[in-house]
Amino acid sequence: MKTPLLTPLLMTLAGCTAAPLAPVAVWEGPPPAETLAAKQGQDPKGVINKNGHRTDVMVPEFVVYPAAKPGAPLLIVCPGGGYGILAEEHEGAEVARRLNAFGSAAVVLRYRVPRRDNAKPWVVPVIDARETLRIVRARAIEWNADPKKIGILGFSAGGNLAARVAYSPAAPDAPRPDFAVMVYPAYLFEKDKPDSVLREGPDGVVPPKGVKPVPAFFAHSADDPYPAEGSMAFAKLLKAMGGSAEVHVWAKGGHGWGASERCLAARRWTDLLGEWMKDQGLLQP
């Protein structure tokens, strides 16, 4: 049996990972805008299905992976799963471990799934993610993080969630992260086809005019059924609005590779993210 090798950056810093802390509740009382109720004996924090994914989350929470040293950036990690489930191992816990390895803190968010609204499945997850952002900023120092270096990172539907929290039209007092990372984000286009256009308007992902977008990092595969053209079009728009964006597209990999050994993209993207975070002044060189 072959033993998977760590990438060079992770190999150097593999000893810098921290054990996760106990889950933190997103809401002190009943979550707002909730329409589902747990069945008798069902854990409202979610159940793990036969594929190892979490679903039926009615009480959202997040798991903290503190940084090894003070002043680190912190990323809120949003697993994907079509707003129906949370692939919280290879798009959650393993991601947090890799972030820890290069010096960043992380929290893995268990936002509410499955969809409460098929037409607008992001509405309740956005509420959960924004409240998580408020909590994380207020408590960042507890976890060796800098409250001015809080980012959001998401995969697929979680990438859509990250884009919405960072850029979509919202109330003036809605919290925004300091940077955003979107890995094969879904639903950026009106239709998931390479020749489609970005979703605009109050329910879209296009930022409001007059606001400089926060820096963005994208990772995608060219053969992903959720087209990489969405990431490229969104990056182009953010740059046109005065922001900055870095995009990495691999020829192969498909969808859903997360932090794994499945393909070159899955092995390499976190190294590239770490280098980008150094370039942005978020990590020490």
DSSP assignment string, 11-28 = HHHGGG-------EES-S
Over residues 251-265, the mean pLDDT reads 97
pTM score, whole prediction: 0.93
267-282: per-residue pLDDT in tens? 999 999 999 999 999 9
Write down the pLDDT at residue 65: 98
Give the pLDDT band of residue 266 (cuts 50, 70, 90).
Answer: very high
Give the pLDDT band of residue 16 (cuts 50, 70, 90).
Answer: low
Closest by CA to 95, choosing from 81, 110, 79, is 79
Judge whether 16 lies within some domain: yes
Are the CB atoms for 128 and 135 separated by under 8 Å?
no
Are the CB atoms for 77 and 117 separated by under 8 Å?
no
SS3 238: helix
Residue 164 is classified by DSSP as H
Closest by CA to 129, choosing from 104, 157, 103, 102, is 157
Judge whether 141 lies within some domain: yes
Write down the pLDDT at residue 38: 87
Give the pLDDT band of residue 243 (cuts 50, 70, 90).
Answer: very high
- The overall average pLDDT reported for the chain is 93
59-98: per-residue pLDDT in tens? 999 999 999 999 999 999 999 999 999 999 999 999 999 9
Over residues 30-58, the mean pLDDT reads 93
Closest by CA to 65, choosing from 109, 21, 13, 16, is 21
**Cα–Cα distance for residue pair 236/246, rounded to 1 Å:** 10
Write down the pLDDT at residue 17: 62
For the chain, percent of residues with pLDDT exceeding 90: 90
Is residue 254 within a helix (H) or strand (E), and if so which, with residue range? none
Are the CB atoms for 53 and 81 separated by under 8 Å?
yes
127-167: per-residue pLDDT in tens? 999 999 999 999 999 999 999 999 999 999 999 999 999 99
Residue 143 is classified by DSSP as G
Judge whether 180 lies within some domain: yes
Judge whether 19 lies within some domain: yes
Neighbouring CB atoms inside 10 A of 41's CB total: 5
Domain holding 257, by residue range, is: 8-27+42-279
Write down the pLDDT at residue 12: 40
Write down the pLDDT at residue 87: 97
Judge whether 37 lies within some domain: no
Closest by CA to 72, choosing from 13, 11, 160, 27, is 13
Judge whether 183 lies within some domain: yes
Give the pLDDT band of residue 13 (cuts 50, 70, 90).
Answer: very low
Judge whether 119 lies within some domain: yes
More confident residue, 41 or 135: 135
196-211: per-residue pLDDT in tens? 999 999 999 999 998 8
114: cis peptide before it, omega within 30°? yes
Answer whether residue 230 shows pLDDT above 70: yes
SS3 97: helix
CATH number of the structural domain spanning residue 53: 3.40.50.1820
Write down the pLDDT at residue 9: 43
Judge whether 33 lies within some domain: no
Domains identified in the chain, total number: 1
Write down the pLDDT at residue 15: 44
